[in-house]
Structure 1
Amino acid sequence: MRLIPALSLITLSVAAAAGCGSSDDAEDPSPVGRTFVSVQVEGDPIPGGGPLVVGFGDSGQISVFAGCNRGTGAAELVDGVIDTTLATTMMACPPPLDGADAWVSQLFDGLPSWTLSGDTLTLATDSVTVTLRDKEIVEPDRPLTDTDWLVRSTISTQAVSTSVALEQAAPTLTIAGDGTVTGWTGCNEFTGRAQLSEDRRAVDFEPLAVTKRACPPGLDEVESSVLRVLGGRVQVVIDADELRLTRDDGYGLVLNAR
């Protein structure tokens, strides 16, 4: 396996995708369409502790992450082994996480064998055996409604970012099961209503009622960023305890369950 630097830190480009399957027998278990998280490593440990996260896309793609850079590429699952070439981001990571990428490279260079039993996936080479569990079992997605969400980052068309002002302001959002919206912009309280799509992958926020407290410099920018997103339709993506709300124009918020 070769690690190929991606052209962008934000977007990973893969030249081609290969078919993915453990066997010609359709009844054989397959990891395709699932994501797994390591729960045990026998042999060489993951620098920084991991965990190793491995996702298998429906179109023959694989994604990997062990604490530093993210990799993605085409994968073939044939003859009981994983054969893949990954494109990776090129972010500098502090010790000991800076060794995680080399660990991932060594694992997949070894053409690891794979076995799947229920929700448990095992990857093995001569030097390491990794036991992974289905991510939905290890880290189940939090429900969108009746969860208190805390804003951690803002999304613009250029980047995902945070700031000292945002961390100190700690904006919040709660959507009740009946569609009632309450929260805190970091400076003012707000209330309103929201309508969830049937699949809960989108939310339409009605105009919010916001208190009129004057915001000092810094907090006014935080409030503006929050309210920019919580107006109209936003797309919803939940991954474990993380919620992403994204507008069609690219602006959004990253929130975590409190």
Structure 2
Amino acid sequence: MTGMRRTLGLSILLALAATTAACAGDGAAAPPQDPAVLVGRAFVSTAVSGPQIPGGGPLVVEFPDAGRIAATAGCNRSFGSVELGDGVLRADRLGSTLMSCPPPLDRADTWLSDLLASEPRWRLDGDVLTLDGGEVSVSLLDRTVADPDRPVVDTHWVLTELVTADAVSTSRALEDAAPTLTVAGDGTVSGSTGCNRFTGTATVGDTVVTFGPLATTRAACPDPELARIESAVLGVLSGEVRYTVEGAAMRLTAADGVTGLGYTAR
């Protein structure tokens, strides 16, 4: 009888040990994911725990190719190499655009730099990416779900950026003038340079918009900055122009491959 009790006691102890090990396994951290799950995707922030993004963001993080990252928190766009091994995002020595942003957006770049410098842990669950830097934790949703690409045609576009070989820039004059562009379904074009109105025609392809000659009103621009903006607009909206659309943002690039216009859907 004593031998049976010892055997029964040992069996119970082994069962309890197995149960305890199973429970511990259930609570263990999930193994790091393959970084390939992020390649070709972009994410937009939906919630921030900790210090908030100056100006409200959102934070947009893109992984255009393996080992590459691009990100913006509402002001400049940072881009460069990234390492994603062991579930940690490591990105230093990133390049950046050089746009001057008004307060409080002028502090968004520092917020982004601090987040990346913290080497946040990352985790993808379906369409939700989490970046946890300790002091700041951000939840981001796949941009195709959070902010679908707007169609080029029948969207009211407002010019928000001028692109040159040196910088992507904005200005108070550009914000106040708010030049527009609309390509209608019948191929007609209308809009403004911020100083004059224009009309014309355009054909929209998969990656190229071909603009016909534009007819404009003839008002004199009252400000040299407005004249510069008008010259940039008319210089790009001519002939074959390459375009990209990311959510509510459209970039038109002239035939020189450098000069461009950044529009936002409104």
Normalised by the size of structure 1, how large is the TM-score? 0.73
* Aligned 1:44-59 pairs, distance under 5 A: 44-59=51-66
Higher strand share: 1
Aligned equivalent of 2:150: 142
TM-superposed CA distance for 1:142, in Å, is: 1.6
Give 1:254's aligned residue.
262
* 51-60 or 221-230, which deviates more: 221-230
Aligned to 1:116: 124
Which ranges in structure 1 are unaligned for 5 or more consecutive residues? 1-20
Distance change in 2, residues 1:165/1:112 (3 Å) = closer
Q: Which residue of 1 aligns with 2:181?
A: 173
CA distance in 2, matches of 1:125, 1:224: 45
% identical equivalent positions: 51
Shift, 1:164, TM fit: 5.4
The 3 A distance-change label for structure 1 pair 174 and 117 is: same
Offset at 1:224?
3.3
In structure 2, relative to structure 1, the CA distance for the partners of 1:182 and 1:158 (3 Å cut) is: same
Q: Partners of 2:55 and 2:191 in 1: how far apart?
A: 36
Deviation at 1:190, TM superposition (A): 2.7
Give, in angstroms, the shift of residue 110 of structure 1.
4.3
Deviates more, 1:115-124 or 1:214-223: 214-223
Q: Which has the higher helix share?
A: 2
Separation (CA, whole Å) in 2 of partners of 1:85 and 1:155: 25
* 1:227 matched to 2:238: no
Higher relative contact order (CA 8 A, sep 6+): 1
- Deviation (angstroms), 1:170: 3.6
Residue 64 of structure 1 aligns with an amino acid whose one-letter code is A
Correspondence 1:49-198 to 2 at 5 A: 49-67=56-74, 70-89=77-96, 100=108, 103-162=111-170, 166-197=174-205
Aligned length: 231
Q: 1:153 to 1:75 in 2, by over 3 A?
A: closer
Distance 1:73-1:230 versus aligned 2 partners, 3 A rule: closer
Could you tell me which residue of structure 2 aligns to residue 37 of structure 1?
44
Residues of 1 paired with 2:192 and 2:55: CA distance?
Answer: 35
Q: Which moved more, 1:72-81 or 1:213-222?
A: 213-222
Pair 1:150–1:71, CA change in 2 (3 A): closer
SS in structure 2 opposite 1:178?
A: coil
- Does residue 215 of structure 1 match 2:226? no
The one-letter amino acid paired with 2:203 is: Q
Q: CA deviation at 1:251?
A: 2.8
One-letter identity of the residue aligned with 1:83? R
**Secondary structure of the equivalent of 2:155?**
coil
Deviation at 1:83, TM superposition (A): 3.1
Q: Cα RMSD between the aligned structures?
A: 3.2
**Between Structure 1 and Structure 2, whose CA radius of gyration is higher?**
2
State the alpha-carbon separation in 1 of the partners of residues 227 and 128 from structure 2: 48
Partner of 2:13: none
Corresponding residue SS for 2:83: strand
Does 1:206 find its partner at 2:212? yes
Select 1:242's aligned residue among 229, 241, 249.
Answer: 249
Contact 1:69 1:88 in 2 (8 A): no
Provide the TM-score with structure 2 as the length reference.
0.71
Shift of 1:171: 2.8
Worse-matched range after superposition: 111-120 or 79-88: 79-88
Q: Is the 8 A contact 2:97 2:168 kept in 1?
A: no
The 1:143/1:108 distance shift into structure 2, 3 A limit, reads same
